[in-house]
């Protein structure tokens, strides 16, 4: 199994279940991954359009594109 893909889906799962946008530190804690790894995964998911970042609050949330998968 490709662990990078699995970790990316784990990030999406946590964000999709969150009641509000999450900070990087909260995501790191919820996932149990290294902060640098979560940051890199978020960057990729943002580039692909599945995650968005609120620049004012520095919080991340699943985009509408992620919801369209469901």
User: In this structure, what CATH number is given to the domain that contains residue 63?
Assistant: 1.10.10.10
Domain of 32 in residue numbering reads as 3-69
Query: Tokens 């599945």 identify what position?
Result: 50
Summarised one tens digit per residue, pLDDT across range 16-51 is: 999 999 999 999 999 999 999 999 999 999 999 999
For residue 33, give the DSSP letter. -
Task: Tell me the C-alpha distance between 19 and 16, whole Å.
Answer: 8
Give the pLDDT band of residue 1 (cuts 50, 70, 90). low
Write down the pTM of the prediction: 0.92
E-assigned strands of the chain? 22-23, 51-54, 59-62
Give residue 67's pLDDT: 82
**pLDDT at residue 70 is higher than 80:** no
């Amino acid at each position: 199994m490709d662990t990078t893909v699995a970790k990316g889906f784990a990030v999406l799962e946590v964000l999709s279940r969150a009641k509000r946008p999450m900070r990087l530190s909260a995501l790191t804690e919820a996932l149990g991954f290294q902060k640098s790894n979560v940051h890199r995964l978020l960057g990729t998911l943002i580039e692909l359009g599945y995650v968005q970042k609120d620049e004012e609050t520095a919080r991340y949330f699943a985009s509408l594109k992620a919801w369209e998968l469901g």
